[in-house]
C-alpha cells in the first residue's frame, strides 16, 4: 500500500504543478492499485481526495478526465511510475489539456 500512498502524493504534486492530465492518469492508476489490493482511501483522507478529483474533472472536462482516468487504470505499476517521472509513452503522446 505504500506505493499507492506515494503515487497519490505525486499525483497531487502533478496537479499542483498544472499537469492535470498526467495527474488524472496517475490517480486512475492509484485507484486500480488500491482496488487490486483491497485498500480503499482512508476515511480521514477521502474529503481531500474527492475535492482534488472534482477540481481535476472541472479543469479537464468530463470527457478528457474520464479518458485520462481510464488510461491510468490500465497502467502497470511500472508505467505509473514512468508517468510520474515524465518518461512514460502516455506522457509524450497525450499532452496536458485544461478546460
The model's pTM is 0.85
Residue 98 within a domain: no
Q: Work out the mean pLDDT of the chain and round it to a whole number.
A: 89
Question: Do the domain assignments include residue 99?
Answer: no
The answer to whether residue 33 sits within a structural domain is yes
Question: Based on the structure, what is the number of domains in the chain?
Answer: 1
pLDDT, one tens digit per residue, over 54-96 is 999 999 999 999 999 999 999 999 999 999 998 655 444 554 5
Range of the domain at 60: 2-93
Within-domain flag for 77: yes
pLDDT band for position 1 (cuts 50, 70, 90) = confident
Rounded to an integer, what distance in angstroms lies between the CA atom of residue 81 and that of residue 67? 19
- Please work out, in degrees rounded to the nearest 5, the angle formed at the alpha carbon of residue 18 by the alpha carbons of 86 and 33: 55
Q: Examine residue 52 and state whether it is found in any structural domain, yes or no.
A: yes
Amino acid at each position: 500500500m505504500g506505493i499507492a500512498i506515494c503515487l497519490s502524493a505525486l499525483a497531487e504534486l502533478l496537479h499542483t504543478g498544472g499537469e492535470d492530465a498526467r495527474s488524472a492518469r496517475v490517480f486512475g492508476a492509484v485507484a486500480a492499485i488500491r482496488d487490486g489490493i483491497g485498500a480503499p482511501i482512508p476515511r480521514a483522507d477521502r474529503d481531500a481526495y474527492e475535492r482534488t478529483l472534482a477540481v481535476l474533472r472541472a479543469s479537464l472536462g468530463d470527457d478528457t478526465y474520464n479518458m485520462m482516468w481510464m488510461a491510468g487504470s490500465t497502467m502497470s505499476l511500472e508505467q505509473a511510475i514512468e508517468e510520474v517521472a515524465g518518461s512514460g509513452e502516455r506522457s509524450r503522446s497525450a499532452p496536458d489539456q485544461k478546460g
